[in-house]
Amino acid sequence: MKIGFIGLGIMGSPMAGHLIKGGHELYLHTRGEVPKVLLEAGGRACASGKEVAANAEIIITMVPDTPDVEAALFAAGGVAEGLTKGKTVVDMSSIALVETKAFARRINELGCDYLDAPVSGGDVGAKNAALSIMVGGTQAAFERVKPVFALMGKNIILVGDNGAGQTCKVANQIVVALTIEAVAEGLLFASKAGADPAKVREALLGGLATSRILDILGERMIKRTFDPGFRIALHQKDLNLALSSARKLGVSLPNTATCQELFNACVAHGGAAWDHSGMVRALEKLANHEIGGK
């Protein structure tokens, strides 16, 4: 297939690379320079989203936030200007539910299909083509794009109509944030009590407390490797979506709010660009103890 890919950051670049390796013809656009590795692999750089859409059958966006998706799709020179009937737009960003449904209607009015297909798995999942992909849209559009998704992920679920993918992703980010907080508290407690946090993590991985977050992010907490990864600022954005939607639904998310406050504390200490495992640093400040410290 001819596939367009817009947004070639920490996640998007390896995802696009898997599609090129899968034999697809890739048309690429991003804010800065298209990564050289993708061009050397056969990807073609485009000057605008319009040019991407004019050349591709399926157009994927993977950008940071709701305004970025809107700009990529509908700004001057954006994807919408290059679409013709029968094409499919797939947004794999994590953005607001209401706007997602509005974007889908606007693309549908142009005679094209729209899938919201946010992902989970972080940079590790993107690099290993092991992402979980949560999709909202029609069955027909999903079946058409599923072989493309299969080159980037392993757990690919059509959750429901447009917006359902984003709803699932918000739920995912709630669970991830609370689990990061739990892992951070557990390792911090163990370290403060005098135990080796690396050994504690190793032991916990064999029991009911095991999780990918304990495995991957717990190791980052212990080794003090807080380069993203998934930036705290982006997780903050997702929890804002969760908390604002919860207010509209009349749902209380007390521990989600606590995690957001811990992220806020990290940002106040210059941590907006830390990996989200850096949440542990806010708890360390409260304990006056660093994991692994004496």
Alpha-carbon Rg for the chain, nearest whole angstrom, is: 20
Any idea which residue has 């090129």 for tokens?
20
Closest CA to 278 of 293, 257, 261, 263: 263
Helix then strand then coil, % of the chain, to nearest 5:
55, 15, 30
Instruction: Fill in the DSSP letter of residue 231.
Output: B
Count of CB atoms situated within 10 Å of the CB of 199: 10
Any idea which residue has 């739990």 for tokens?
182
Exactly one of 36, 101, 154, 169 is catalytic; which is it? 169
Catalytic annotation on 169? yes
CB contact set of 32 (below 8 Å; sequence gap of 6+) = none
Rounded to whole angstroms, the Cα distance separating 264 from 274 reads 12
Collapse the DSSP code of 6 into the 3-class scheme (helix H, G, I; strand E, B; otherwise coil) and give the result: strand
CA 106 to chain centre: 23
Read off the amino acid at residue 160.
Answer: G
Write out the two tokens for 57.
Answer: 């059958």
**C-alpha separations of 282 from 175, 264, 266, 267, 292 in Å:** 19, 9, 6, 9, 15
Rounded to whole angstroms, the Cα distance separating 171 from 155 reads 16
Q: Catalogue the active-site residues.
A: 169
